[in-house]
Amino acid sequence: MKNRNILVTGGAGYIGSHTVILLIKSGYNIIIFDNFSNSSRESVKRVEKLVDTSITVVEGDIRKREDLQKVFISYKIDSVIHFAGLKAVGESVEKPLKYYDNNVYGTINLCQVMAEHDCKSIIFSSSATVYGDPKTTPIDESFSTSATNPYGKSKLFIEEILRDVYFSDTSWKIVLLRYFNPIGAHASGTIGEDPTGIPNNLMPFISQTAIGKRKYLSIFGNDYDTHDGTGVRDYIHVVDLAKGHVKALDKIHTFNKIMTINLGTGEGYSVLDVVKAFEKVTGKKVPYKIEARRAGDIATCYADPSYAKKVLDWKSEKTLEEMCADTWYWQSQNPNGYQSH
Ligand code: NAD
Ligand code: UFG
């Protein structure tokens, strides 16, 4: 079943680039489809170096039928791994239509073109954000869903749309992967997360502070009901996350229902736990200040990952220390991300 053509939308991005490496190593033929709105060709070049082969890259937008048609006409695509999307929560509140257009309309367009070419197999990048503010933790896939911002709603809407697509035609094979908090980088230090501007997320902010690009980390609240008052999350190494996609793709044709699967470690760490682990592993100081809570944040979010173990035979392997070490290696080798070279 390997040797299949896999279209990877958003394959030049953070999670996509790490996943493409493992897919190629597993024997899949990859076509990256990306409009480079939040990534660069440099990431693909580096992936090519790591896998020692050239990769087919199509520059295109999932909202443009003609861009997608070209790919589906040129290649017989077996399955799509659909990473392409915008992901900045704050920006989504300012520009909701941009998010619904890109994420929701883009996905509808993609599925329509897929169906026209009789490609009915898709793995979708969903998020733990769809659990809203969960009543208890760990969170399993049966928990109720909700969203408070357009980014989160776009993920929920897409999940619902894909469920309807499946119920209208059960020959579709659909896997909804709900990621918890991906961090870390490839052990080579040559690819990693490269946020534009000031990072929104914790780990890139920590590593940019450690390298001196930011003066200090603002910790958003220390009065949550957690072991030290700071927010608790389930940080997962991006390479573990990537492995989850390979497992899902290996099995996708065997599933006889639409699958919704958490990809997390099952461990919750606070902001201060992460700062301490980072300092210990790297020997770098991360100055911080406690500030007000960030609007929309919740106290605690971590996965029950047992369903992924059961149906994908997947579980995360890397420790928080490894996540910090790999993030730091990437950051220190590439202080300005992909622009360094
Ligand atoms: P990323 O921004 O690094 O990658 C997304 C890629 O999609 C980029 O290369 C971007 O250029 C491309 N893209 C965006 N819109 C496109 C369009 N209209 N047409 C073609 N390409 C387009 O983000 P990432 O962290 O790798 O996230 C990948 C997916 O996982 C996203 O859908 C994101 O919402 C989801 N996700 C991410 C996280 C996280 O914390 N990183 C958590 C949960 C879910
Ligand atoms: N935090 C800080 N300071 C910062 C950044 C974050 O204290 O500068 C804290 C937050 O308050 C939170 C924790 O660090 O307690 C993690 O925050 P992130 O922004 O890194 O991650 P979130 O859990 O808020 O959200 C992320 C993505 C969402 C995604 C979600 C679940 O941004 O898009 O993980 O996958 F939906």
For the chain, domains (ranges, CATH) are 5-185+236-266+301-317 (3.40.50.720)
**Residue identifier of the C-alpha nearest atom 24 of ligand 2:** 297
- Which residues' Cβ are closer than 6 Å to ligand 2? 87, 89, 127-129, 179-181, 200-202, 205, 217-220, 231, 233, 271, 294, 297
Q: Rounded CA gap, 222 and 270, in Å?
A: 10
Calculate how far, in angstroms, residue 300's C-alpha sits from the geometric centre of ligand 1: 24
Closest of 85, 76, 77 to residue 35, by C-alpha: 85
DSSP string, 172-218: -EEEEEEE-EEE---TTSSS----SSS--SHHHHHHHHHTTSSS-EE
DSSP state letter for 92: H
Residue pair 33/7 in contact (Cβ under 8 Å)? The answer is yes
The confidence score (pLDDT) of residue 88 equals: 94
Give the nearest ligand 1 atom to 151 CA.
Answer: 34
The confidence score (pLDDT) of residue 3 equals: 82
Which residues does the annotation mark as catalytic?
151
Q: Rounded CA gap, 254 and 51, in Å?
A: 28
The confidence score (pLDDT) of residue 2 equals: 73
Tens of pLDDT, residue by residue, the chain (341 residues)? 578 999 999 999 999 999 999 999 999 999 999 999 999 999 999 999 999 999 999 999 999 999 999 999 999 999 999 999 999 999 999 999 999 999 999 999 999 999 999 999 999 999 999 999 999 999 999 999 999 899 999 999 999 999 999 999 999 999 999 999 999 999 999 999 999 889 999 999 999 999 999 999 999 999 999 999 999 999 999 999 999 999 999 999 999 999 999 999 999 999 999 999 999 999 999 999 999 999 999 999 999 999 999 999 999 999 999 999 999 999 999 999 998 65
Residue pair 95/21 in contact (Cβ under 8 Å)? The answer is no
Count CA within 13 A, CB hemisphere, residue 280: 10
Tokens of 25: 């190593």
Give the nearest ligand 1 atom to 16 CA.
Answer: 26
Pick from 91, 126, 151, 181 the residue to mutate for probing ligand 2's pocket: most ligand atoms within 8 Å of its CB. 181
Helix axes 271-282, 202-210, angle to 10 degrees: 40
Q: Rounded CA gap, 43 and 11, in Å?
A: 9
88 Cα distance to chain centroid: 12
Question: Is 130 a pocket residue for ligand 1 (Cβ < 6 Å)?
Answer: no
Q: Are strands 232-233 and 269-270 parallel, antiparallel or unpaired?
A: antiparallel
> What distances in angstroms separate CA 103 from CA 61, 166, 236, 329, 331, one per listed residue?
11, 19, 23, 32, 29
**Which own/partner pairs from 51-60 qualify as long-range (CB within 8 Å, at least 24 positions apart)?**
51/20, 51/21, 51/24, 51/25, 53/24, 55/20, 55/24, 55/30, 56/30, 56/31, 56/32, 57/11, 57/12, 57/31, 57/32, 58/31, 58/32, 58/33, 58/34, 59/34, 59/35, 60/33, 60/34, 60/35
The confidence score (pLDDT) of residue 1 equals: 58
DSSP string, 115-150: HHTT--EEEEEEEGGGB-S-SSSSB-TTS--B-SSH
Count CA within 13 A, CB hemisphere, residue 252: 26
Give the nearest ligand 1 atom to 201 CA.
Answer: 40
Question: Is 221 a pocket residue for ligand 1 (Cβ < 6 Å)?
Answer: no
Q: Rounded CA gap, 242 and 17, in Å?
A: 9
Contacts of residue 74, defined as CB under 8 A and 6 or more positions apart, other chains included, come to none
Pick from 7, 41, 64, 83 the residue to mutate for probing ligand 1's pocket: most ligand atoms within 8 Å of its CB. 83
Q: Among all ligands shown, which has an atom nearest to the Cα of 154?
A: 1
Pick from 271, 274, 302, 320 the residue to mutate for probing ligand 2's pocket: most ligand atoms within 8 Å of its CB. 271
Give the nearest ligand 2 atom to 152 CA.
Answer: 36
Residue pair 133/83 in contact (Cβ under 8 Å)? The answer is no
SS (HEC) of 276-317: HHHHHHHCCCCCEEEECCCCCCCCEECECCHHHHHHHCCCCC
> What amino acid occupies position 2?
K
Calculate how far, in angstroms, residue 81's C-alpha sits from the geometric centre of ligand 2: 24
Q: Among all ligands shown, which has an atom nearest to the Cα of 101?
A: 1
Give the nearest ligand 1 atom to 60 CA.
Answer: 20
